[in-house]
Amino acid sequence: MSPTYRSFAKINLHLEVLGKREDGYHELRTVFQTVDLCDLLTIELTDGGVELDVEAENVPSGSENLAHKAASAFLERWAPARGARIRLRKTIPVGGGLGGGSSNAATVLLVLQELLDSPASGDELVSVARSLGADVPYFLVGGTAMGTGRGDEIEALEELPETEIWLVIPAVSISTAEVFAEFGKLTRKGGKSSIEHLAEGSISSWLASGNGWNDLQELVVRRYPGVGAVYNALREAGASEVKLSGSGATVFARFSDQSVSRELARHLPPTSDLVRARTLTRSSCQRLRLV
């Protein structure tokens, strides 16, 4: 029986949009954090070609799927005589700002690297990951990490302690491109101190105290009432921290009083999905990857 691997989601503990680059992308400074919500991937080597079977609605199973693209890119470069058969069971919501597709791609790269006895160097694997998407390199690292550039230049940070969080996914479709385009038209307010001015060793403790922010949050909460309703409900429910992940639509929350969080569902819009999750360190990501 072929092995099955967990492909974990992420949240953004902090997100700064620093401006638009010459290549059309935005310059970012973000802090990623792995959470234990995951998809499942079963991967086996074959004699040629890439086959992908997806257990989910409205998720492509052909060459446009990032998992398929990752397998094709890896095998074409390092094992052109081999193929892969992949089965993907989706749990991470699509388009929720949790990085599910990027995580799937990175997991495929890591597993093929293992199954084929590490034909790629670390830098080569990162290069392929970057070609697949801005978030993919992060998932090669996991845990608490900073992303700069497009978010694809990754620096591992001092780990935050594993803790319980709640993910709320509104029934809202958000266009990342539209959010960034509208954000670019806004005049940024001053007064916030960028985390680049913090000593590297203190970034994690700064974030653990709830000091991070998301530059896109105010815009998304205002533009998408479904997200705003969730954000306000979590605040009213007594969450100690409420934040948009990426460009949304997922909002995550922490509660200092866990007894309050157990009654969270009754505070939320009925069309929202509520997921209890836990943050993961890099060592936990590695230890728990194989099911």
Catalytic residue among 36, 135, 152, 215: 135
**CA dihedral sign, ordered 121, 152, 94, 233:** positive
Locus of tokens 């105010």: 218
Cα separation, 125 vs 113, whole angstroms:
9
Strands 241-244 and 144-149: unpaired
SS3 238: coil
* Distance spanning both ends of the chain, measured CA to CA: 12
**CA dihedral sign, ordered 39, 43, 49, 55:** negative
Q: How many CA atoms lie within 13 A of 264 on its CB side?
A: 25
Active site residue 185: no
Locus of tokens 């608490």: 144
Q: Which distant-in-sequence residues (6+ apart) come within 8 Å of 210 by Cβ? A: 240, 241, 254
Q: Which of 92, 45, 93, 85 is nearest to 68 (CA)?
A: 85
Active site residue 135: yes
Cα separation, 44 vs 285, whole angstroms:
21
Catalytic residues: 10, 135
